[in-house]
């Protein structure tokens, strides 16, 4: 399955990260937090019929899923990310039956300013504003173009579970643009893995 390919990439990245020189990791700990790059893997659950949205043209209440792999550049104030995702949309419109779906391919960009540092070790609440390009293989059934886009905004929380591993949760409200002008929410759960280099340069903010 497509999700298996992304998961295999995650495992490979994890092995590379843990194989880095321990001296580089200790060196990084002496510098400002979040002044590094990382790779994240997340699973997003998209809902087109939550109670706070009035999307009457949806065909059902099924949840749609997407797996996303992102490259993130971090510093102590904000992070920028670019990524790609593969998933399945199971709620396209009234033209789709209860069990019909469409493959989803996504290219995503986001800017995530850090808002609050909590009392817990390396735990942050952050904001997020992003833009997604989505390709839907069966979008023609609903009378729309295969390529569409959406803007999103929301909040997330990230905490360090291990020296090499962060956990995160993110909630966004997404507004589709163009013909398929629908609003949906996405809950994303995932992990991020820092990438350490032999030469680390801490930017002066």
Taking only the tens place, the pLDDT of each residue in 125-163 is 999 999 999 998 877 666 678 888 999 999 999 998 887
Q: H or E element: which one contains 186?
A: strand 183-195
H-state helical runs in the chain = 2-18, 22-29
In a domain, 124, yes or no: yes
Determine, yes or no, domain membership for 111: yes
Domains contained in the chain, number: 1
Whole-number Å distance between alpha carbons of 73 and 79: 6
Residue 69, domain extent: 2-157+177-195
Q: Exposed, middle or buried, 159 (CB in 10 Å: 0-12/13-18/19+)? A: middle
Which pTM does this prediction carry?
Answer: 0.73
Give domain status of residue 172, yes or no: no
Q: Is residue 170 part of a domain?
A: no
Task: Tell me which residue has tokens 């960009």.
Answer: 109
Q: How many CA atoms lie within 13 A of 166 on its CB side?
A: 24
Cα–Cα distance measured from residue 71 to residue 133, given in angstroms and rounded to the nearest whole number: 16
Q: Does pLDDT of 45 surpass 90?
A: yes
Judge residue 29's burial from the number of C-beta atoms within 10 Å of its C-beta, 0-12 exposed, 13-18 middle, 19 or more buried. Answer: exposed
Q: Are 149 and 174 in contact (CB under 8 A)?
A: no
15 in any annotated domain: yes
By three-state DSSP, how is residue 126 classified? Answer: strand
Mean pLDDT for 19-25 is: 43
Measured between alpha carbons, how far apart are the two ends of the chain, in Å? 43
C-beta of residue 196 within 8 angstroms of C-beta of residue 36: yes
CA dist., res. 135 & res. 126, Å (int):
28
State the pLDDT at residue 156.
95
Percent of the chain with pLDDT over 70: 64
Residue 19 domain flag: yes
Would 171 be classed as within a structural domain? Answer: no
Write the burial class of residue 87 (CB in 10 Å: 0-12 exposed, 13-18 middle, 19+ buried). Answer: buried
Where does the pLDDT of residue 188 fall: very low under 50, low under 70, confident under 90, or very high at 90 and above? very high
Decide if 205 is inside a domain.
no
Tokens 């989803």: give the residue: 104
Taking 90 as the threshold, does the pLDDT of residue 84 lie above it?
yes
């Amino acid at each position: 399955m497509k999700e298996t390919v992304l998961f295999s990439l995650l495992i490979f990245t994890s092995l590379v990260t843990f194989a880095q020189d321990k001296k580089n990791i200790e060196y990084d700990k002496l510098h400002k937090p979040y002044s590094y790059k990382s790779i994240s893997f997340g699973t997003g659950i998209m809902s087109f019929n939550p109670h706070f949205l009035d999307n009457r043209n949806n065909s059902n209440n099924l949840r749609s899923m997407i797996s996303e792999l992102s490259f993130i550049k971090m510093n102590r104030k904000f992070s920028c990310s670019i990524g790609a995702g593969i998933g399945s949309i199971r709620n396209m419109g009234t033209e789709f039956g209860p069990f019909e779906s469409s493959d989803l391919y996504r290219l995503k960009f986001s800017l995530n300013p850090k808002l609050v540092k909590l009392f817990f070790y390396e735990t942050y609440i952050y904001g997020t504003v992003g833009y997604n390009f989505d390709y839907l293989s069966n979008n023609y059934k609903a009378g729309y173009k295969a390529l569409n886009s959406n803007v999103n905004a929301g909040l997330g929380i990230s905490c360090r579970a291990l020296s090499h591993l962060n956990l995160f949760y993110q909630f966004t409200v997404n507004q589709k643009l163009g013909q398929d002008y629908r609003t949906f929410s996405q809950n994303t759960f995932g992990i991020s893995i820092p990438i350490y280099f032999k030469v680390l340069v801490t930017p002066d903010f």
